[in-house]
């Protein structure tokens, strides 16, 4: 038993030496600085747009109506054809109107003759009154009769003009140039001036108008932004993009021409109108389209991905890289969001390196320094790593030979 205890120290030394050989050594216990993705920001000009639905309508739309009462004699156009302003479309039986014109002219000639007689009477009575052959009353009555005849002449002239106009209305012409639709009346039909019978309709489709409804809340927000930001201006004459119902872009850009000053009380929206060229007559009134129209243009702003900015009650903060790979929180001013980005209008300068990705790990590790990598490179590395993992061969599930 004593011999056993005498050999124990030697055995302990051998065991300790063996453990030293098999235990791994840790040269540096501190972890490496975490990777972060950054972008070097540059100022840019940004035009804010809004994509809204709308329907096309004719730029000019004229309904051809009867202006006299009569029987339609002829139709002189082809339905669906292009007509020019002044082209004859219909003729209405004009015989009653010719007779009315002749009657008006006869009445005018009659009162003109009566005027000559009354003028002669006045001259005669003025000579006789000097000789006291007639009374003053007779002369006054003759002068009044002459004045009444002069007034009747003016009435007769107006009747002649009215009869000429009615006669002209029996020839129905196109009030504007455009494409005419189907006829609403046929030969032999009675049309009425009192009911303004619709005879046809002409539409001018180059250009077309598209009316869209814009939210009044958005309009007010934009006006507030314009008041708050100095580097902003309106875009009243900028082109608008038109997209068909299936999303296909239309080849010709439109132009904003009108913004209503009142809000529809029922919908809370205001109307905005754009003019759309249609030289190929491809578009038609009534089509549903979407309109991407400019609202305002912001100058010298920075677009920062939303994940890079922390929004708090005390302000908005992002992190900027320093030259020694440390980072500094930076308060910034935000105008609004735009396509998964924040529009930063203050707090940044061109060339600042803004950390976009990786700050969550930095905060968890309480790291003071980081390993900066351009955001595009960092994402490429992640993509390549994911692709390599997915391409690793799967373990064969086929049993080995002889195994059942």
Residue with tokens 């677009």: 303
Say what the pLDDT of residue 229 is.
Answer: 57
Return the CATH architecture of domain 47-58+204-297. Beta Barrel (2.40)
Q: Cα-flanking dihedrals φ and ψ of residue 152, to 5°?
A: -65, -30
CB 385 within 8 A of CB 49: no
Say what the pLDDT of residue 13 is.
Answer: 47
Structure tokens at 113: 């003759």
In CATH terms, 67-196 corresponds, of 3.40.50.720, 2.40.50.100, 2.60.120.10, 1.10.357.10, to: 2.40.50.100
| Equal fold, 47-58+204-297 vs 67-196 | no
Of 228, 175, 153, the closest CA to residue 62 belongs to 175
pLDDT in tens, 178-202: 999 999 999 999 999 999 999 999 9
pLDDT in tens, 137-184: 888 898 899 899 999 999 999 999 999 999 999 999 999 999 999 999
Q: Cα-flanking dihedrals φ and ψ of residue 125, to 5°?
A: -70, -30
pTM of the full structure? 0.64
Query: What mean pLDDT do residues 360-371 have?
Result: 88
Say what the pLDDT of residue 216 is.
Answer: 76
Say what the pLDDT of residue 390 is.
Answer: 57
Say what the pLDDT of residue 12 is.
Answer: 52
Say what the pLDDT of residue 282 is.
Answer: 92
pLDDT in tens, 17-54: 444 544 454 445 667 888 899 999 999 988 888 888 99
Segments making up each domain of the chain, as ranges: 35-43+301-378, 47-58+204-297, 67-196
Pairwise pLDDT comparison (219 vs 289), residue with the higher score: 289
| CATH code reported for the domain at 35-43+301-378 | 2.40.420.20
Query: What mean pLDDT do residues 240-268 have?
Result: 86
Statement: residue 62 has pLDDT above 80: yes
Query: What mean pLDDT do residues 277-297 have?
Result: 88
* DSSP sequence for 15-31: HHHHHHHHSPP-S--SP
Query: What share of the chain has pLDDT > 90, as a percent?
Result: 49
Statement: residue 78 has pLDDT above 90: yes
Structure tokens at 215: 């939210």
CB 336 within 8 A of CB 289: no
């Amino acid at each position: 038993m004593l011999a056993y205890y005498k050999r124990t120290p030697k055995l302990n030394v051998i065991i300790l030496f063996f453990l030293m050989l098999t235990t791994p050594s840790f040269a540096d216990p501190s972890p490496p600085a975490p990777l972060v993705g950054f972008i070097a920001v540059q100022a840019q000009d940004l035009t804010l747009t809004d994509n809204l639905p709308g329907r096309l309508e004719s730029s000019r739309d004229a309904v051809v109506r009867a202006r006299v009462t009569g029987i339609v004699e002829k139709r002189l156009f082809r339905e669906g054809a292009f007509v020019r302003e002044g082209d004859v479309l219909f003729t209405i039986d004009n015989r009653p109107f010719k007779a009315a014109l002749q009657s008006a002219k006869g009445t005018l000639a009659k009162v003109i003759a009566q005027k000559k007689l009354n003028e002669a009477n006045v001259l005669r009575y003025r000579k006789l009154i000097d000789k006291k052959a007639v009374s003053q009353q007779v002369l006054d009555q003759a002068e009044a009769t002459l004045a009444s005849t002069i007034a009747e002449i003016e009435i007769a002239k107006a009747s002649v003009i009215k009869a000429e106009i009615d006669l002209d209305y029996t020839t129905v012409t196109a009030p504007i140039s455009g494409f005419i639709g189907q006829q609403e009346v046929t030969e032999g039909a009675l049309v009425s001036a009192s009911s303004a019978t619709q005879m046809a309709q002409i539409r001018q489709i180059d250009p077309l108008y598209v009316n869209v409804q814009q939210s009044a809340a958005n309009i007010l927000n934009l006006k507030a932004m314009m008041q708050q930001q100095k580097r902003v201006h309106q875009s009243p004459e900028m082109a608008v993009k038109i997209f068909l119902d299936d999303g296909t872009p239309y080849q010709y850009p439109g132009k904003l021409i009108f913004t209503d000053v009142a809000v529809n009380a029922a919908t809370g929206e205001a109307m905005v109108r754009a003019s759309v060229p249609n030289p190929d007559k491809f578009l038609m009134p009534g089509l549903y389209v979407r309109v991407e129209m400019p609202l305002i243009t912001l100058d010298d702003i920075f677009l920062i991905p939303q994940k890079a900015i922390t929004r708090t009650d005390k302000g908005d903060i992002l992190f900027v890289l320093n030259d020694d790979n440390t980072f500094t929180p930076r308060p910034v001013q935000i105008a609004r969001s735009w396509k998964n980005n924040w529009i930063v209008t203050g707090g940044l300068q061109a060339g600042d390196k803004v950390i976009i990705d990786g700050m969550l790990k930095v905060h968890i590790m309480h790291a003071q320094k980081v390993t900066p990598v351009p955001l595009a490179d960092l994402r490429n590395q992640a993509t390549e790593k994911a692709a390599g993992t997915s391409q690793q061969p799967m373990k064969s599930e086929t049993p080995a030979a002889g195994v059942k």
